[in-house]
Copies of this chain bind each other. A is one copy, B any other.
Amino acid sequence: MKVDIKSVAKEADVSIATVSRVINNNPGVREKTRKKVLKAISDLKYEVNSVASNLRQKKTNTIGIIIGNILSQFDHIIAKSVEDIAYKNGYNILLTSSDNDPEKELKQLKTLKSNRVDGIILAPTGKNVDYINRIIASGTEIVLIDRQIEGLQFDTVQVDNENGAFEAVDFLLGQGYKKIAIITGDLDTTTGKKRLDGYLNALSKSSIPKDDKLIKVGDFTNKSGNILIKELLGNVYRPEAVFVSNLDMTIGALIGIKEIGLTIPGDIGIIGFDDFELSQLLDPPITTVNQPTYKVGSTATELLIKKIEDSNLNIGDTPNIISLNTNLIIRDSTRKFR
């Protein structure tokens, strides 16, 4: 026995329009009528069909998110922050992930579009620019997080990757380390590229020439950090310290160092990008560049909702590129001289 707005109307002996008004708290319903309708709703255990409402209103009160892989700390903190802000504002979350694969990202973008989400929070792979432009042109709002898209200007919330990396490497230099390696991620991503830039800037400031043998480019995965640290440490020409440009690769590198049997910070100093709760429990505690991940997600979502609800916000505007600051957390993995 289905119960729709019509059955409620019949039960309360009013029109469906009146029921709709009550449901949506619209003005212009006599208190007595409202009570009557509310009673019918409760008696019949009626529950709005949002699908019908969404169709009619051309609004779904849903935000789509596309992240890489929710198993990685950055991504699930983002998921949490988006969810919090969305919930607070009455939006639902349609969760998808791209596995950082442009093809899957495109599929997910199309799914979200077909489902007529009101807006999208996207950690972009860097491709699919045409389609993203099409989505925006169609009136669906998008805010990018973490990474920008090469050469294009979309609203973005990110951290100051270049400066964060600079501070990390500059700190290593200050500790007395000279031969410093970097393990960074895909240079097609702003995170991979900018963190490398920061590394190079720091070296350059101290007049240390760039050494290609000390620069490793991975793919931001645990496994890749593990392989690359072994490449760096496996031969005689070995760095004194390494800056690893994200958390997953840092963990892979730590495991690698342990497997090789070297000690931190004596044999090798290490500093990671992105702090995590357990940094302090590791042996030794790891120095990291802490980024305000939750704030990235919450800021992006707040911006997105503002764009959704205030549609004349964009007209003629230049895109909002918001860069949040990182901060260095100094622990024991970078104490060269005790």
Contact of B83 with A96 in the complex, beta carbons under 8 Å: yes
Q: How far is the CB of A250 from chain B (nearest CB, A)?
A: 11
Give chain B residues whose Cβ lies under 8 Å from the Cβ of A77: 71
A94 within 8 A of B: yes
Contact of B47 with A55 in the complex, beta carbons under 8 Å: no
Question: Which residues 49-77 in A have Cβ within 8 Å of B in the complex?
Answer: 49-52, 54-55, 60, 62, 69-71, 76-77
Please classify how large the interface on chain A is, using the bins under 10, 10 to 19, 20 to 34, 35 or more: 35 or more
Cα A129 to Cα B154 in complex, Å, equals 46
Cα A116 to Cα B113 in complex, Å, equals 19
A89 within 8 A of B: no
Cα A254 to Cα B97 in complex, Å, equals 33
Cα A76 to Cα B68 in complex, Å, equals 13
Give chain B residues whose Cβ lies under 8 Å from the Cβ of A254: 281
Give chain B residues whose Cβ lies under 8 Å from the Cβ of A282: 278, 281-283
Residue of B with least CB distance to A254: B281
Contact of B93 with A49 in the complex, beta carbons under 8 Å: no
Q: How far is the CB of A73 from chain B (nearest CB, A)?
A: 9
A70, A96, A110, A114 — which one has the most chain B CB atoms within 10 A of its CB? A70
Q: How far is the CB of A54 from chain B (nearest CB, A)?
A: 5
Question: Which residues 98-128 in A have Cβ within 8 Å of B in the complex?
Answer: 110-111, 113-116
Give chain B residues whose Cβ lies under 8 Å from the Cβ of A48: 114
Give chain B residues whose Cβ lies under 8 Å from the Cβ of A110: 47
Among the listed B76, B277, B283, which residue makes an inter-chain contact with A283, where contact means beta carbons less than 8 Å apart? B283
Cα A124 to Cα B255 in complex, Å, equals 36
Contact of B80 with A114 in the complex, beta carbons under 8 Å: no
Q: How far is the CB of A15 from chain B (nearest CB, A)?
A: 21
Question: Which residues 201-222 in A have Cβ within 8 Å of B in the complex?
Answer: 222
Cα A255 to Cα B114 in complex, Å, equals 47
A329 within 8 A of B: no
A92 within 8 A of B: yes
Q: How far is the CB of A305 from chain B (nearest CB, A)?
A: 17
A280 within 8 A of B: yes
Contact of B111 with A92 in the complex, beta carbons under 8 Å: yes
Contact of A114 with B278 in the complex, beta carbons under 8 Å: no
Give chain B residues whose Cβ lies under 8 Å from the Cβ of A80: 69-71
A45, A69, A94, A278 — which one has the most chain B CB atoms within 10 A of its CB? A278
Cβ contacts A258-300/B at 8 Å (1 or 0 each): 1000000000000000000110111100000000000000000
Contact of A115 with B50 in the complex, beta carbons under 8 Å: yes
Contact of B255 with A51 in the complex, beta carbons under 8 Å: no
Among the listed B54, B76, B93, B278, which residue makes an inter-chain contact with A94, where contact means beta carbons less than 8 Å apart? B93
Q: How far is the CB of A279 from chain B (nearest CB, A)?
A: 10
Residue of B with least CB distance to A284: B283
Give chain B residues whose Cβ lies under 8 Å from the Cβ of A62: 94
Q: How far is the CB of A61 from chain B (nearest CB, A)?
A: 9
Question: Which residues 139-167 in A have Cβ within 8 Å of B in the complex?
Answer: none
